[in-house]
Structure 1
Amino acid sequence: MTPERLLEFQNELLQELAAGTGLGGLVEKYSDQIGAPVVVIDAYSRVKAVSQNAPHWPEGKVITLSSPEKGSFKCSVDDDGATWEAICLEIAGRGKGLPGYLLVLDGPGRKLKEKEIVALGKQVSFVCALEFARIRSLLAMEQKYKDDFIFDLLYSNIDTPETAVTRGELWGWHLDRPHLVMVFELDHYEHFSTDPQLMEEVLELARLAALKIDQAPILMEKRGELVAILPVEGLNRKKDKARVKEFASNLCDKVRGKISPRMFRAGIGRVYPAPTEIFRSYQEAKVALELGRLVPSCGGVPVFSDLGMVRLLYNNDRQELEEFYQETLGELEQYDQELGNDLTTTLKSYLAHSCDLKRTAQALFLHPNTLRYRLKKVEELLEIDLEDLDTKLDLMIAFKIKYLLKPETG
């Protein structure tokens, strides 16, 4: 392959780009030259363009790509059990990582040797990078307009439901349906670091996760926070909640796998029928996220409607909560600190196991008689009766308050 031919081919590719044929025109041009199917995928293995002789993969379809060995361009492509050998070329970008890959699938019609395919492919990759940059710029501009509208929804800046529905239709969003809000947060986010780029990756992972559910969420990322506004049917609450929690849990697991030991948390608000009430679900989701950070019993992905007593305590005056805690458990905690005992933990476990002596003893690896002695000591110190229902309730509330009052450890 002569330098003159490579330069001529590059000019032909640039002409395709100038003609506005996009990635589809570039892969078709390349495919004609080499006589083999060509596919362009992004960094998340989503199909962006295919030549006419390639498998009929729709844009956005996720395929599986094996990484080429060092010094080799060969890889394999898998889709639902079908496998193709391929030549894989990186599409290099500037400062944003790899935008994607150029794949040449093996086939009987190939006209050129691998060396020539790679030489021409590098020219194609360069021009594809220009097209990716153009697309990214357009998407960023579109996302800005979307974000402005989403911001108005989250902060109740829209007067009527009809206005919200009409504006949402511009983006294909059906805001006349019930929606809820999920909030995801990256711990210790720092703007002047690699965290903004990390949040861009999180946004892409959320878009990938959205492909697996029936109704995709409206997504917005802002300074370490990812907001997802999800439409729900509203006909089966249990089914809706399971679907929402599954989406949130899957996304959290994927992100935590990339950022460990840092934390990535989520909170879910309640469902509201009108778009002008979406801001309420947003505030609830933020409260649920915060309570999930403070109170372990809230679970992996706390849902505001499930938080019960804890969400009521969260809105109370901190001084009142402190006084209630000290009046209820303060003396027991002081006794433990002075004598090195752990009666507080014993009492907490007893309440957590529904005041069942046998289960509590097993959980604490204690003889039942030892447990009875400890609980009797608790009753004497606090001057209470552990058989009294109101007393049990006060103690459970006090333990919830302890989590709410403790300083944040991240």
Structure 2
Amino acid sequence: MAHTDEVKVSLTHSVLEMNNLEHVLSYLRESTGRNVIISDYKGTIYNLGSDQEQLPQSFFSIILNWDEGSPYLWDEELLTLCYKVGTSEKDGFIFVEPAHSEECHELIPSLEKASLAVKTYFNLAHSMEKLNNVYTNNFIADILLCNINIKELLKQNSFLLNYDLNNLYYVCIMLTDRILTEIEKQALLAYTRDWLKLNKLDIFCTVWDNKYLVHICPTHYDVKILDVDSGWKKSLDNITRYHEDVRKKFNFKATFGIGNKYLIDKLHLSYQEALYAIHLSELTGNGNQVRHIYDLGVYSLIFSNSLDHLKSLYKKYLNALILHDKVNNSMLLDTLRCYFDANLNINETAERLFLHINTLRYRLKRVEELTNTSFQKAYDRTNLYIALKVYDVLGRLELIDPSQ
């Protein structure tokens, strides 16, 4: 026991003094007689005196799917013992290979002796990371939420994030097709930053609102036209490549929304446009794609209006339905939505809602009466459809309460 404590203290001191895992890795490789890999939760490998690398996909999948009830597991296919250091999701992982199942009980004591040192190293690293993230997230909040002192803040802090008050920027937002765990979000953020660096793209990214990956992208001066490059092809090509690489590594799909270009103090407008592009794309069955605000057709004009104007639009056509449903516990708004989703096919709508055709006709008649419209008129159908999409987008963005 005394020897175990001495090893733990010695390895931990080496981390505190040298701020690396060199002695820890040397000890583990010598004591186990195996190849040892130490990785953080983002899949970054910490090697002896070499550049950081990323874990193979097979190892990284183990981290993403880790069973929190066990400190270690043995992978039969990889012949690898995987040991999680500590209980926090950010404490780190040790991989020992090759290792057969009957050898695991002999290898674990060495991993336990090194666990405190590894945990100490990652806790120190993540403390600095947390401080940096708090600062940058607060700074980005000022940009995306239109802080009234944004120009002054930029003048004071632009040297840290390298923003230019005179340059144009745009926002690209990524929304995954499923809810990510905290470890997946942080791993995705780390992978994205490495991907941008590898591809020499001066784009800043961060996790925002606990579900979006927000990219703030600068425009560049084109010497051929002596102006800012107005084309989107290069940007779209980069986003498409990134989407494919992310899909392969993390096994999920995503929708991307892109806003227009603005000076930095107006960038909140680009952020809002990118959100509209994402959610309207998903509501119209065009999810898992890259969509610019201009790709929305007439909606790009509609959603260029203020929030108050958008609310007035949907209330003009839908308020009577919303109030009727609330008072009578009816489903006229849902019926209207399904009717449009079925391309105004009454038989298909009835099947989707499990309604008798006459019941559906009655509901649609009530919709016409309450909204003072007629489905026979293209003008009325168009306005109802647009109002419904505006209502649904604002609801998804929590800019209104759909239950009210």
Aligned counterpart in structure 1 of residue 261 of structure 2, from 272, 280, 302? 272
Match of 2:84 in 1: 90
Provide, for residues 6-63 of structure 1, a one-character-per-residue CA deviation record: whole Å limited to 9, x for no partner: 233223212312322422332123324444322101234x1331247xxx78334454
Contact 1:6 1:120 in 2 (8 A): no
SS at match of 1:316: helix
User: How many Å apart are 1:204 and its aligned residue?
Assistant: 3.1
Contact 1:165 1:176 in 2 (8 A): no
CA 1:103–1:143: 2 relative to 1, 3 Å: same
Contact 1:92 1:99 in 2 (8 A): yes
1:180 aligns with 2:171: yes
User: How many Å apart are 1:223 and its aligned residue?
Assistant: 5.1
Contact 2:151 2:165 in 1 (8 A): no
SS at match of 1:300: coil
User: How many Å apart are 1:126 and its aligned residue?
Assistant: 2.4
Q: Quick one: distance in 1 between partners of 2:107 and 2:278? A: 52
Alignment-mate amino acid for residue 49 of structure 1: Y
Match of 2:224 in 1: none
Match of 2:395 in 1: none
CA 1:290–1:165: 2 relative to 1, 3 Å: same
Aligned counterpart in structure 1 of residue 97 of structure 2, from 100, 105, 121? 105
Match of 1:38 in 2: 36
CA 1:254–1:326: 2 relative to 1, 3 Å: farther
Segments of structure 2 that go 5 or more residues without pairing to the other structure are 220-228, 323-329, 352-356, 393-400
CA 1:90–1:275: 2 relative to 1, 3 Å: same
CA 1:396–1:280: 2 relative to 1, 3 Å: same
Q: Quick one: distance in 1 between partners of 2:264 and 2:73? A: 50
1:205 aligns with 2:188: yes
Match of 1:49 in 2: 46
Contact 2:84 2:92 in 1 (8 A): yes
Q: Quick one: distance in 2 between partners of 1:321 and 1:229? A: 30
Contact 1:38 1:103 in 2 (8 A): yes
Match of 1:402 in 2: 388
SS at match of 1:92: coil
Match of 1:133 in 2: 123
Aligned counterpart in structure 1 of residue 235 of structure 2, from 234, 240, 258? 240
Match of 2:214 in 1: 228
CA 1:219–1:29: 2 relative to 1, 3 Å: same
1:297 aligns with 2:287: no
CA 1:362–1:164: 2 relative to 1, 3 Å: farther
Q: Quick one: distance in 1 between partners of 2:166 and 2:27? A: 42
Segments of structure 1 that go 5 or more residues without pairing to the other structure are 78-83, 108-112, 188-194, 258-263, 331-337, 354-359
Over the residues paired in the alignment, what is the CA RMSD in angstroms?
5.5
Aligned residues: 345
CA 1:235–1:297: 2 relative to 1, 3 Å: same
Q: Quick one: distance in 1 between partners of 2:57 and 2:335? A: 56
Q: Quick one: distance in 2 between partners of 1:404 and 1:256? A: 31
Alignment-mate amino acid for residue 26 of structure 1: V
User: How many Å apart are 1:180 and its aligned residue?
Assistant: 1.7
Match of 1:316 in 2: 309
Q: Quick one: distance in 1 between partners of 2:85 and 2:335? A: 62
Contact 1:38 1:51 in 2 (8 A): no
Provide, for residues 102-135 of structure 1, a one-character-per-residue CA deviation record: whole Å limited to 9, x for no partner: 122339xxxxx76553212211122211211111
Alignment-mate amino acid for residue 19 of structure 1: E
Alignment-mate amino acid for residue 284 of structure 1: E
Q: What is the percent sequence identity of the aligned residues?
A: 12
User: How many Å apart are 1:230 and its aligned residue?
Assistant: 3.8
Provide, for residues 76-101 of structure 1, a one-character-per-residue CA deviation record: whole Å limited to 9, x for no partner: 68xxxxxx6333222113xx336221
Alignment-mate amino acid for residue 147 of structure 1: N
Contact 2:202 2:218 in 1 (8 A): no
Q: Quick one: distance in 2 between partners of 1:384 and 1:127? A: 72
Alignment-mate amino acid for residue 402 of structure 1: L
TM-score using structure 1 length: 0.61
Contact 2:317 2:384 in 1 (8 A): yes
Alignment-mate amino acid for residue 106 of structure 1: P
User: How many Å apart are 1:276 and its aligned residue?
Assistant: 3.5
Alignment-mate amino acid for residue 187 of structure 2: E
CA 1:117–1:235: 2 relative to 1, 3 Å: farther
Provide, for residues 237-279 of structure 1, a one-character-per-residue CA deviation record: whole Å limited to 9, x for no partner: 245346547867997999998xxxxxx9977341426434422
1:167 aligns with 2:156: no
Provide, for residues 186-244 of structure 1, a one-character-per-residue CA deviation record: whole Å limited to 9, x for no partner: 99xxxxxxx9x955642433433555564485333455454512436656524534654
Aligned counterpart in structure 1 of residue 10 of structure 2, from 12, 21, 35? 12
Q: Quick one: distance in 2 between partners of 1:64 and 1:255? A: 11
The structure whose Rg is larger is 1
Q: Quick one: distance in 2 between partners of 1:90 and 1:346? A: 48
Contact 1:183 1:286 in 2 (8 A): no
Q: Quick one: distance in 2 between partners of 1:64 and 1:175? A: 45
Match of 2:24 in 1: 26
TM-score using structure 2 length: 0.62
Alignment-mate amino acid for residue 97 of structure 1: E
